[in-house]
């Protein structure tokens, strides 16, 4: 769990650093840049939500396997 939390923190810090550099070096107008950042932010959040959902499903399956009586556990 700690490794996953550390990984997510690393992604967040990297995204914020990248966004800051992009703002400082952007050749586009403010409106265009804001639209692009919003679009990328939504895409990033969708990816994070998808990864969290996948992990949640995996953990539920593991929990169900651990709760099952010993004779019923899949090999």
Question: pLDDT of the chain along its 75 residues, tens only?
Answer: 778 888 888 999 999 998 888 777 877 777 887 888 899 989 999 999 999 999 999 999 999 999 988 765 555
Q: H or E segment at 73?
A: none
The Cα–Cα gap between 15 and 8 comes to 10
Whether the Cβ atoms of residue 55 and residue 4 lie closer than 8 Å to each other = yes
Query: Which pLDDT does position 70 carry in this prediction?
Result: 77
The pLDDT value recorded for residue 51 is 92
């Amino acid at each position: 769990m700690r490794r996953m939390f550390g990984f997510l923190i690393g992604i967040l810090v990297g995204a914020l650093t990248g966004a800051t550099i992009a703002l400082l070096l952007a050749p586009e107008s403010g409106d265009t840049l804001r639209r692009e950042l919003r679009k990328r932010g939504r895409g990033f959040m969708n990816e994070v939500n998808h990864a969290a959902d996948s992990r949640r499903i995996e953990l539920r399956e593991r929990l169900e396997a651990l709760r099952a009586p010993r004779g019923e556990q899949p090999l």
